[in-house]
Structures are given as structure tokens and as C-alpha cells.
């Protein structure tokens, strides 16, 4: 049975959350924003997987893996909706006026 | 458990889901009339509301009861970790969610008749409501967050459903980014809580809060989860998106967002943070007596500070707005602060007060946004000064709007006064530090009177500058071929606004039939029946 | 260091570098390349954690479907609202906030066990029994999420004739 340091994984997922947050705060391109959010989401999923692997009670650990399965499905669905919104916006701008910048700046 | 045993208690949810699927089926079959799908949605929401009221024990409806009394407020057996349970506070929130959806669905009947997409609009409205109903049943953190996502994803699309309106689509894009960030943070926080305690069950989390596991990890988990849920609840400093989204969305959708879906964040905060807050209570200390970074005091102090900051910032920014919808959006943000007071205190009267505040907010805020929709339909512009002379042009509409604003300001004889009275007296009862929360709330109510009074002055005492356009179409949907009924407002909107206004006064005059059930539900909730 | 520890260190380093590169490179197509490597790298970490089912799911859904979706999004909307990133500069405040998040989270490292912890492996059958049994409602909710997403996304991208 392999043994690994628990703290190393927490450090990794924290770093990934940091990278994702940084991307969300600085990028202005929609696809890059989506990618930044997915990086942070992967950090959350990784959390569930390694906490499951290190769980003191097997039944609890299994729960963590199940949550990871559900979350992977959820994240992919979320990306699809985001792309749909942006495609609709793109089509509108493409057919009306590309230079029309954001109306809502708040 | 048998099929009937599983589905039996879930009658309202099944009704709403079935109606949503029926609406989508009709869309495929080519039956896309707004009146048809709207009627189906309204009937389903009303039916679900009746069942929920029956389950809550309102007497004339007892025959409709779908929930066995043994299930209501049952505490799950030790060791079992159910994903959903039936608590009376959850049912109260279900009723409020259904009421908000019903008002919006009725008012949406008056949207321009040549506008496409009625089936998808009503279908997503029903599915969003279904997500809200499931939030109210959650007893598991992952179940809760996934149910919130059902609602969120539906509302992202609802905001941009007009498709040809760049402002609405931009609002949808902004809403999506903020919503996706919020759900990611929530799941990250949940994962840390899972790591700290080895469970995602809300009962178990409540029982173990702060006592076992890894306390620092748990504190971080609660903190990140709070940030995620704060986005949904529009707490300062996570509020900036709300104003742009409410402003850019179709008016009816703004009403649904501000009056309806925002409250799932409030209920989620109730569910998640009662544990840590009660942990302080058991220790018998004030937020300042614990050790530094002790879970309970830190959480309670954070919630209290967030509540005060949210109220104050929301009110101050509302004072500065020149546009009606943006003013209402900021006032909605400040109202979220009042609701947060309830969970920060964590006693049963305080939760009852916060729940009543949620109920009041459903009526006042969805009503107010629907009045904006009605005003837009008769050609009133987006700025507050554009509303000059409405009191003489459309006296009934102006009076209804005045009632909503007075209720938002907390003037006596309205539901807004009752809810603030219950909430602040609970804060005073809790003594010590919490009295200051009541003081902050009262000062904020006084501050808010200024901008509501300014609007009332514009509507009733400033004459319209010139002749107004006979009628113009809705801002989004463009002019329909036939004039709308009820003086250009539309019958659906007139009915929804009227119902909201009447309920505001009725509950304000005679709150007992509502207050009683809410108080006993809050007591069950705090006692552990969830 | 044992072999798994070296593998973990390498995979973690690759994950952070690819994630950061994906957000910082100028050309959007390169971004997709980096994020694809990032997803595959995480799948490798799941295999290392003896969660083969999740590893395969990560490969199929993230490295496969999500990457292709993102690539598709870039191809279709290219040279319109998102050509390349206008400014690739690194703001100080966002960097500080991200760094602060990491530092605050790192405070939890103290209370975690410092040495190596054995990894618990679960057979995929146990996973499915539980997921389709006691935790079925999660899957039902995921189904609802997908129903909402599919119907909403179709409405948004379908060509309307208004």
C-alpha cells in the first residue's frame, strides 16, 4: 500500500485555487475566465479525491469519491451553458455591431 | 423504501417537474402560446403552493396533505445520513419560493405577445423553482449546493432568454461568471469541511461543529463556503454583480432574482451556519470571549460584521442612484443584511424574524420590480425623474408602489414593519453584543426612508413635464400588436401587483396567521428538527 | 524519497505550471494545449491516489469533452469578442489576493499529520453501489442540472426567426 503526505495535496489544491482566483480577477477574455474557473473547480474535486483516499473510515472515503464523480459531471455541464451564452452574444454582436462594447460596466 | 413512500412526500416537487416537462413537450409539439404555457405553469405553482400550505397545517386545506405527520420535523436516526428531510421551516421557505414564482409567472403573462420563447421561459422558471424547493429540503451539503446550481443555471439562461437583447445577454454573461465562481468557491469550502469532519451531512456537521476533526481546516472551509454563498445572497463585498444583472435582465426576471432566487442563499446560510453559531451558544460566551480563531465566535462575528456592512453599504449606494431599477437593486442588497442578522444571532425568535423578513421581501421586492415592468409598459423611462406625475396618471399603480416602498422602509401597518420589529426585538432579547445589531438595523432603516421618500415625492408631488406617450411597448419585447389590458399595464401584471400590495397590508395589519407558523417552525429548526 | 513521492512532486509541479501557463500565454490555442495537459496531469494524480475510475472520468470528461468544448468556443468566436487577450499584464492586487488565499489555506497544514499517510483504495463496484443507492439523489440532481443546461443552451444557440 502506498503512502503519501496529506499536506502536499492540500498545498497543491490551495495553489491551484490561487491560480484560478488570480485568473478570474485579471483575465477579461471569456474563455480564459471559464478556464480559470475550471482550474479552481478541479482543485475542489482534487480535495474530495485525496480526502477520500486518506479517510480514516472507508465508508466516509467512498462518499468523497462519489462527490468527485458528480462534480466532474456538473462542471462539464456548467461549461456548456457558459459557452452557449457567449455564442449567443457573439452571434448578436457579429450580426449587429462588433465594436459595441459592454453596456453594463459596474 | 417503496416508490410511493419515496414520492409521497415530494408531491409539490413532482407537480412542478411534471409541469416543466409538459411545457417542453408542448414546445416540441408546436403549441407555444404564452397564455397556454403560462396557464399550465401558474396552475402547477398554485397546486404546489396549496399542497405545501396543507403540509404546514393550514386548516381548510388539511385534506390535501401529502406529507405524513410522522415525517415532518422527524430527527433522523443516529448514524443515518439522509440527503433530504422535511422540516417545517423548509416548508415555510418552499411556500415563499412558490409565492414569488407565482407572482412572476402571473405577471409574465403580460409580456409582449409577439415575443418568442414563452415555453422556454416558463419551463426554466418552473425548473428554477424546483431547484429552490429542493434547497428547502436539503440536509446534506452537496445536495444543497447541487440544488442551488439547478436554480442558478436556469436563471443564467432566464436573464438572457430574449436572445436579441445585447444588454440582457451581457447581464447573463456577467451573472454566469459570478455564479460559476460562487459555486466553485462553495464546493471548495465544502471539500475542506469534508476533509475536516469526514462528512457532508448537515446534521452531522451541526453536531460536530468545532469539536472534533481539524478545526483550522473547518474554519477555512466555513470561510470559503461563506464567500461562495455570499455571492448568491448579494452580501457586501460580494454584491457588485447584482446591480448590473438586475438592471440588464428583463423586468420580470429581475423580480424573480431579487424576490425569489436570492432567498435560497439565505436559507443555505441558515442551514450551514446554524451549527457553528449554536456551538458558541453551548459554550455560553459572547463572540469576544473565545480563543482567537475559535470556530464559533469567529463565524458569528464575521456574520454580524457582514450584516452591518451589507445594510449600510447597500443603503448608502441606493441613496446615490438616479435609475429606479438600480435603486431597487441596492435596496435589495441592504435588505439581505437584515436577513443575515437573524442567523448571526442564531436564536429561534431571531430566525423567525429573519424568515418573516424574507417573506416581506418576497412581496415587496418582486412587487416593486413588477411595478417597474408595468411602468415600462406604459412608457415610463428608467430614471427616477421619469416617474414624475405617475400619481395622477396611474393612481392605483402609484399607490401599490407606494405601499411597497413604505413597507421596504419599515413603516407601521405594513409587513416590512412587522418583520423588522420581530427581528430587532429578537436582537435586543439576545442581549450584549447583539443589541448593537438592532441599533445598526434601526439606523439603517431611518437612512433608507430618505431615498424611498424621494421616490414618493417624485411620483405624487412633481407634475409630469409634458404629455406622455400614449403607450409604448415593453422595453425588451417591443410593442405588441394589440394594446394590453388594465390600462396598458396588462392584466397579469395588474393581478400580481395587486396581490402583492394587498398581502403587504393584510399581513402588516394582522400578522398572526403567518407569524405563528413561522415562529414554531423556527423553534423546530433551532431544536434540531431542521 | 520513495518513488510515489517523487511522482507526486513532479505531477504537482506540472499541474501548477500548466495551470499558470494556460492563463498567461498570449495565443488562445496554446491555452487549450496547456489546459489539456493540466487535465491529463490531474488524471495521473487520481491514478496515483488509487482512484482509477475517477482518473478515467477525468480523462474522458475533462481532457476530452471540456477541452474540445473550449477549443470549439475559441474557433467559432475567434477574432470577434475574444481575439487574443488585450492585456497580459499581472496586476499586483489580484496577485496579492491569490497569494493571500494560498497563505491562509496553508495555515491548515500545521494540524494535518506531517508524515506519510497510507492510501485507501476502493473498488469501482462499491462506488457504483453507493452512488446508485443511498446517494441516488445526488445523481438525480445532476440529471436536473443537465436538463436545465441542455434546454437552456439549445434555446440560446438555436437560430431564432424573430
- Supply the DSSP string of C77-125, one letter for each residue: HTTTT-SS-S-----HHHHHHHHHHHHHHHGGGGGS-SSEEEPPP--HH
Domains of chain A: 7-95 (1.10.287.3510)
> What CA–CA distances, in Å, run from A13 to B259, C38, C60?
36, 13, 21
Note the pLDDT tens digit of each residue in B301-345. Answer: 899 999 999 999 999 999 999 999 999 999 999 999 999 999 999
Contact list, A63 vs chain C (CB under 8 Å): 130, 135
- From CA B10, how far away is CA B49, in angstroms rounded? 13
Please enumerate in sequence order all residues whose Cβ is within 8 A of that of B284, keeping only pairs 6 or more positions apart, or say none: none
- From CA B145, how far away is CA C133, in angstroms rounded? 20
Per-residue DSSP letter, B63? G
Residue B82 main-chain phi, psi, to 5 deg: -70, 150
Contact list, C152 vs chain B (CB under 8 Å): 120, 124, 153-154, 156-157
Q: What is the pLDDT of residue C79?
A: 54
CB contact under 8 A, A60 and B199: yes
- What value does the mean pLDDT of chain C take? 86
Task: Please check the confidence at residue B482 and state whether its pLDDT lies above 70.
Answer: no
Closest of C142, B125, B228, B426 to residue A74, by C-alpha: C142
Beta strands in B185-239 (DSSP E): none
In chain A, whose CA is at the least distance from the CA of C96? A22
Cβ–Cβ contact B471 with A under 8 A:
no
Cell of B506: 393584510
Helices B512-524 and B88-108, packing angle to 10 deg = 130
- Domain ranges for chain C: 1-85, 122-162
SS3 category, B481: coil
Cell of C91: 496586476
Q: What is the pLDDT of residue A99?
A: 36
Mutation target to probe the B interface, by most B beta carbons within 10 A, among C80, C98, C155 is C155
Contact list, C66 vs chain B (CB under 8 Å): none
CB contact under 8 A, A42 and C112: no
CB atoms within 10 A of CB B79: 6
More confident: B253 or C27: B253
CB contact under 8 A, B124 and C152: yes
Task: Please check the confidence at residue B122 and state whether its pLDDT lies above 60.
Answer: yes
Cβ–Cβ contact B171 with A under 8 A:
yes
Task: Please check the confidence at residue B370 and state whether its pLDDT lies above 60.
Answer: yes
Burial environment of residue B351 by CB neighbours within 10 A (0 to 12, 13 to 18, 19 or more): buried
Task: Please check the confidence at residue B44 and state whether its pLDDT lies above 90.
Answer: yes
Note the pLDDT tens digit of each residue in C34-66. Answer: 999 999 999 999 999 999 999 999 999 999 999
For residue B427, the cross-strand partners are none
- What value does the mean pLDDT of chain B take? 87
Q: What is the pLDDT of residue C115?
A: 81
CB atoms within 10 A of CB B481: 8
In chain C, whose CA is at the least distance from the CA of A83? C73
CB contact under 8 A, B163 and A88: yes
Task: Please check the confidence at residue A60 and state whether its pLDDT lies above 80.
Answer: no
Q: What is the pLDDT of residue B306?
A: 94
CB contact under 8 A, A84 and C153: yes
CB atoms within 10 A of CB B253: 32
More confident: B493 or A94: B493
CB contact under 8 A, A90 and C80: yes
Query: What's C1-85's CATH class?
Result: mainly alpha
| Alpha-helical segments (H) within B378-411 | 390-393, 395-409
- From CA C137, how far away is CA C150, in angstroms rounded? 20
Percent residues over pLDDT 90 in chain B: 61
Per-residue DSSP letter, B77? P
Contact list, C45 vs chain A (CB under 8 Å): 46
Amino acid at each position: 500500500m502506498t503512502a503519501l503526505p496529506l499536506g502536499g495535496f492540500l498545498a497543491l489544491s490551495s495553489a491551484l485555487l490561487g491560480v484560478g482566483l488570480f485568473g478570474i480577477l485579471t483575465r477579461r477574455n471569456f474563455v480564459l475566465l471559464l478556464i480559470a474557473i475550471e482550474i479552481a473547480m478541479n482543485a475542489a474535486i482534487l480535495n474530495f479525491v485525496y480526502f477520500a483516499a486518506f479517510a480514516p473510515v472507508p465508508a466516509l472515503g467512498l462518499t468523497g469519491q462519489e462527490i468527485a464523480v458528480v462534480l466532474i459531471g456538473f462542471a462539464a455541464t456548467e461549461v456548456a451553458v457558459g459557452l452557449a451564452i457567449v455564442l449567443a452574444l457573439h452571434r448578436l454582436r457579429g450580426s449587429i455591431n462588433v465594436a459595441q462594447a459592454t453596456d453594463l460596466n459596474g | 423504501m417503496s416508490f410511493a413512500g419515496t414520492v409521497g412526500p415530494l408531491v409539490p416537487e413532482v407537480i412542478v417537474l411534471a409541469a416543466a416537462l409538459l411545457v417542453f413537450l408542448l414546445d416540441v409539439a408546436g403549441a407555444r402560446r404564452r397564455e397556454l404555457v403560462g396557464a399550465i405553469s401558474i396552475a402547477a405553482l398554485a397546486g404546489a403552493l396549496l399542497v405545501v400550505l396543507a403540509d404546514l397545517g393550514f386548516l381548510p386545506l388539511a385534506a390535501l396533505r401529502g406529507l405524513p405527520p410522522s415525517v415532518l420535523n422527524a430527527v433522523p436516526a443516529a448514524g443515518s445520513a439522509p440527503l433530504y428531510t422535511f422540516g417545517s421551516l423548509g416548508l415555510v421557505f418552499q411556500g415563499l419560493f412558490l409565492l414569488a414564482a407565482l407572482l412572476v409567472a402571473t405577471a409574465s403573462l403580460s409580456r409582449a405577445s409577439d415575443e418568442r420563447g414563452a415555453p422556454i421561459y416558463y419551463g426554466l422558471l418552473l425548473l428554477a423553482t424546483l431547484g429552490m424547493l429542493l434547497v428547502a429540503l436539503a440536509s446534506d451539503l452537496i445536495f444543497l449546493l447541487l440544488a442551488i446550481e439547478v436554480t442558478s443555471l436556469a436563471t443564467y439562461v432566464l436573464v438572457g432568454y430574449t436572445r436579441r437583447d445585447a444588454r440582457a445577454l451581457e447581464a447573463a454573461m456577467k451573472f454566469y461568471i459570478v455564479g460559476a465562481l460562487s459555486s466553485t468557491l462553495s464546493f471548495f469550502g465544502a471539500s475542506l469541511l469534508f476533509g475536516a469532519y469526514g462528512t457532508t451531512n448537515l446534521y452531522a456537521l451541526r453536531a460536530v461543529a468545532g469539536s472534533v476533526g481539524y478545526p483550522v481546516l473547518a474554519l477555512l472551509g466555513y470561510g470559503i463556503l461563506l464567500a461562495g454563498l455570499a455571492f448568491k445572497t448579494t452580501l457586501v463585498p460580494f454584491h457588485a454583480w447584482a446591480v448590473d444583472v438586475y438592471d440588464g435582465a428583463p423586468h420580470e426576471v429581475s423580480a424573480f432574482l431579487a424576490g425569489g432566487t436570492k432567498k435560497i442563499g439565505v436559507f443555505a446560510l441558515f442551514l450551514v451556519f446554524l451549527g457553528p453559531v449554536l456551538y458558541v451558544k453551548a459554550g455560553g460566551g459572547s463572540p469576544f470571549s473565545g480563543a482567537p480563531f475559535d470556530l464559533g465566535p469567529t463565524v458569528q462575528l464575521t456574520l454580524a460584521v457582514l450584516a452591518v456592512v451589507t445594510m449600510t453599504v447597500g443603503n448608502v449606494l441606493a441613496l446615490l442612484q438616479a435609475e429606479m431599477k438600480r435603486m431597487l437593486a441596492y435596496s435589495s442588497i441592504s435588505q439581505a443584511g437584515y436577513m443575515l442578522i437573524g442567523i448571526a444571532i442564531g436564536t429561534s425568535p431571531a430566525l423567525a424574524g429573519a424568515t418573516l423578513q424574507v417573506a416581506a421581501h418576497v412581496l415587496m421586492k418582486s412587487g416593486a420590480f413588477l411595478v417597474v415592468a408595468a411602468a415600462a409598459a406604459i412608457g415610463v423611462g428608467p430614471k427616477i425623474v421619469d416617474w414624475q406625475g405617475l400619481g395622477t396618471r396611474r393612481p392605483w399603480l402609484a399607490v401599490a408602489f407606494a405601499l411597497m416602498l413604505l413597507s421596504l422602509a419599515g413603516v407601521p401597518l405594513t409587513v416590512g414593519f412587522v418583520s423588522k420589529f420581530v427581528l430587532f426585538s429578537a436582537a435586543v432579547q439576545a442581549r450584549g453584543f447583539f443589541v448593537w445589531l438592532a441599533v445598526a438595523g434601526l439606523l439603517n432603516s431611518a437612512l433608507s426612508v430618505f431615498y424611498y421618500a424621494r421616490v414618493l415625492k417624485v411620483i405624487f408631488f412633481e407634475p409630469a413635464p409634458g404629455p406622455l406617450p400614449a403607450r409604448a411597448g415593453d422595453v425588451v419585447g417591443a410593442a405588441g400588436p394589440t394594446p394590453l389590458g388594465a390600462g396598458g399595464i396588462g392584466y397579469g401584471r395588474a393581478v400580481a401587483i395587486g396581490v402583492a400590495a394587498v398581502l403587504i397590508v393584510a399581513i402588516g395589519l394582522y400578522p398572526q396567521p403567518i407569524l405563528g407558523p413561522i415562529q414554531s417552525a423556527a423553534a423546530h429548526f433551532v431544536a434540531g428538527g431542521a | 524519497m520513495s518513488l510515489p513521492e517523487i511522482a507526486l512532486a513532479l505531477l504537482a509541479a506540472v499541474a501548477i505550471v500548466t495551470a499558470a501557463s494556460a492563463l498567461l500565454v498570449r495565443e488562445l490555442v496554446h491555452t487549450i494545449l496547456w489546459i489539456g495537459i493540466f487535465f491529463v496531469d490531474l488524471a495521473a494524480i487520481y491514478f496515483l491516489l488509487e482512484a482509477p475510475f475517477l482518473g478515467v472520468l477525468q480523462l474522458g470528461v475533462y481532457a476530452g469533452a471540456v477541452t474540445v468544448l473550449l477549443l470549439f468556443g475559441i474557433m467559432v468566436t475567434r477574432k470577434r469578442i475574444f481575439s487574443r487577450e488585450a492585456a497580459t499584464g499581472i496586476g499586483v492586487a489580484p496577485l496579492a489576493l491569490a497569494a493571500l488565499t494560498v497563505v491562509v489555506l496553508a495555515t491548515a497544514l500545521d494540524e494535518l499529520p506531517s508524515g506519510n499517510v497510507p492510501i485507501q483504495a476502493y473498488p469501482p463496484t462499491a462506488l457504483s453501489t453507493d452512488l446508485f443507492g443511498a446517494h441516488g439523489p445526488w445523481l438525480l440532481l445532476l440529471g436536473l442540472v443537465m436538463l436545465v443546461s441542455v434546454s437552456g443552451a439549445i434555446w440560446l444557440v438555436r437560430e431564432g426567426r424573430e
